[in-house]
Structure 1
Amino acid sequence: MLNKTLVPQSVARKIQGMIQTGEFQSGDKIPSQREFSQQLGVSRASLREALLTLETLGLLETETGRGTFVVGGKPSSSSHMASWRYSDSYSAFDVFQTRIMLEGRITSLAAGRLAASQLDQMENLTQQMEECWARQDLLSNVEADLEFHAIIASSCSNAMLRSLYQMVREQISETQRHPIPITEPARMRASIAEHRRIIAALRAHDGLLAQREMENHILNTARCAGLAP
């Protein structure tokens, strides 16, 4: 599990840092995967996953036959989203549509089951999202978002829905990263406000309202990505 998640995440963070500090500048071509994996001391598989994550976030762009290039380190610095990674199995539309149904119901069934410490953690994660966006730390912004949604899913009273969420979590996570390159500051502010409304409904143990807030949040994210399930 460590190699599958933590190592690529660490590598992606290191490369993002190289972009932010100017070691890699906009337009620079990054080294070949063989050379770069040796330089960073990681496997090519871990590097490849890290590069895919950074490409989804709009920090890198791969040009067929030419290599991978730095796009930039600022939010909304790219004018388009990366190719959808799971097109061979599910479209982004399908995943967003599934998220609305699955996470909406999960959220309603988590109401009244989340501990005060979990709700406080969700508040902190939402604050982290806001702060990380402001300092252009896109990786940490998305990681906080992923954890926010995962906490809710972990508290769902239906074990099968919890399992279904884990089964499709990779695809769900990609829909949380995918719109980042075209996300305007106003949309990020709105998304953060939506998180806080979800937390408020969960604190009030109002499952129906929490469900509606989550469904609205995911629908607005889909619209940001140019989709309307």
Structure 2
Amino acid sequence: MLNKTLVPQSVAREIQGMIQSGQLKAGEKIPSQREFSQKFGISRASLREALLTLETLGLLKTEAGRGTFVAKQASSRSDASAHMAPWRYSDSYSVFDVFQTRILLEGEIARLAAGRLTQLQLDGMEKATRTMEECWANQDLLANVEADLDFHGMIVSACANVMLKALYQTVRDQVTETQRQPIPITDPERMRQSIGEHRSIIAALRANDAARAKLEMENHIRNTARCAGLEP
């Protein structure tokens, strides 16, 4: 039995596979939530979470009164047909607020993590960055974002301030969404830059350069926000 927190991600992976294999075709309406939840043997709440994740990544599109469809892939992620999904936390925080908070919070976390990361953790960050690169090349968008989350999570785990780590966990869902949301409009050049920024962060942390680690992290998050059309 899968851990409940992993069920939506596992199902999202299966549906992504169905799209990539052509079992679900571009423009095709997906089965009803009732049918899909029975197929995967999960609750509708878990299914909805999986579908929301895929919609944020630009693989699905919901049309009011019509249902949810497999998105027609843009010929280029920077062309007019590429778009971001609606921000799902708008009732509590704007996406601008979340990016601005990430800059403040993750920049300081990176500063305090400098000198505390083990060789194993630093190597793990390198591996996560390579995985991001490989999964982007294969258009495994779920795994690309998962590797991105792992990268940032390893830095948080080494932060010296327990309260900052706890604060990060309280906004983890919103942070995760900002890492998924720009994906549909991220072109290959921006992904190359993002991966390069990850490597610059790792270099600063390997050198135990706290000030540089903070600066590199803030720069990385600002550039991600710019990709989403924001200037925090």
Confirm or deny a common fold (TM above 0.5): yes
* 1:190 maps to which of 190, 193, 196: 193
> Alpha-carbon deviation of 1:2?
2.3
Q: Which amino acid aligns with 1:193?
A: G
1:203 corresponds in structure 2 to: 206
1:165 corresponds in structure 2 to: 168
Secondary structure in structure 2 of the residue aligned to 1:28:
coil
**Partners of 2:139 and 2:153 in 1: CA distance:** 23
* 1:148 maps to which of 148, 151, 156: 151
> Alpha-carbon deviation of 1:94?
0.1
- Is 1:131 the counterpart of 2:109? The answer is no
* 1:120 maps to which of 120, 123, 137: 123
**Partners of 1:14 and 1:173 in 2: CA distance:** 20
Moved over 6 A (4+): none
> Alpha-carbon deviation of 1:72?
4.3
* 2:224 maps to which of 187, 212, 221: 221
Gapped runs of 5+ residues in structure 2?
none
The count of corresponding residues between Structure 1 and Structure 2 is 228
**Partners of 2:216 and 2:39 in 1: CA distance:** 45
| Aligned-residue CA RMSD (Å) | 1.3
With the length of structure 2 as denominator, give the TM-score of the two structures: 0.96
Gapped runs of 5+ residues in structure 1?
none
**Partners of 1:131 and 1:189 in 2: CA distance:** 11
With the length of structure 1 as denominator, give the TM-score of the two structures: 0.97
Q: Which amino acid aligns with 1:202?
A: L
**Partners of 1:50 and 1:73 in 2: CA distance:** 19
> Alpha-carbon deviation of 1:73?
6.2
Q: Which amino acid aligns with 2:10?
A: S
Secondary structure in structure 2 of the residue aligned to 1:117:
helix
Q: 1:1-229 residue pairs with structure 2 within 5 A?
A: 2-3=3-4, 5-72=5-72, 76=77, 79-229=82-232
> Alpha-carbon deviation of 1:42?
1.3
> Alpha-carbon deviation of 1:40?
1.6
Q: For 1:131-185, what per-residue CA distance to the aligned partner results, in whole angstroms no more than 9, with x for missing partners?
A: 0000010000000001100110111000000000000000000000000000000
